[in-house]
């Protein structure tokens, strides 16, 4: 992924998170009923999407700043790819499950969580590769 692609993914995830959060607060109950468990699950998906959208923005900017030094840039790319996929699987599966999707998607959520954790570990490895700037 290029730094531009990482930043654009972060912008998309964060912006879509705001839209999905607003819909969850104002329209979702009309679709699924006033089920507190489902509404809470939706909120969890939105929270993780928003946080990791901002993380992607930070990774893209970090990568752009390090572009000339190439310090840890491979790990930054791995981190961004893992986080982008993790959001899709984690938050995406929660949204689909809340909306009545197939129950076999349940095990997809923790896989997304593992990808998110892996992304943060890769970001940490990138940080370990840094020299003082």
Q: How many domains does the chain have?
A: 1
Cα–Cα distance for residue pair 129/65, rounded to 1 Å: 14
User: Is residue 114 domain-resident?
Assistant: yes
Judge whether 58 lies within some domain. yes
Q: For residue 106, give its domain range.
A: 3-128
Give the tens place of pLDDT for each residue, 11-42.
999 999 999 999 999 999 999 999 999 999 99
Q: pLDDT tens digits for 33-92? A: 999 999 999 999 999 999 999 999 999 999 988 876 666 788 999 999 999 999 999 999
- Percent composition of the chain: helix, strand, coil (DSSP 3-state, to 5): 80, 0, 20
pLDDT at 131: 75
Residues 106-128: what's their mean pLDDT? 96
- How far does the chain reach from its first CA to its final CA, in angstroms? 24
Asked if residues 87 and 40 have their Cβ atoms less than 8 Å apart, the reply is no
The pLDDT of residue 132? 61
pTM: 0.93
- 34 domain residue, yes or no: yes
């Amino acid at each position: 992924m290029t730094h531009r692609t990482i930043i654009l993914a972060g912008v998309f995830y964060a912006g879509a998170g705001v839209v999905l959060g607003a819909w969850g607060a104002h329209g979702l109950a009309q679709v699924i009923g006033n089920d507190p468990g489902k509404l809470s699950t939706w909120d969890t998906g939105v929270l993780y999407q928003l946080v990791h959208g901002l993380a992607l923005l930070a990774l893209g900017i970090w990568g752009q700043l390090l572009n000339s030094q190439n310090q840890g840039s491979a790990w930054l790319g791995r981190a961004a790819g893992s986080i982008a996929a993790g959001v899709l699987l984690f938050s995406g599966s929660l949204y689909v499950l809340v909306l009545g999707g197939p129950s076999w998607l349940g095990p997809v959520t923790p896989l997304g969580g593992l990808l998110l954790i892996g992304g943060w570990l890769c970001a940490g490895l990138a940080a370990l590769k840094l020299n003082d700037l």
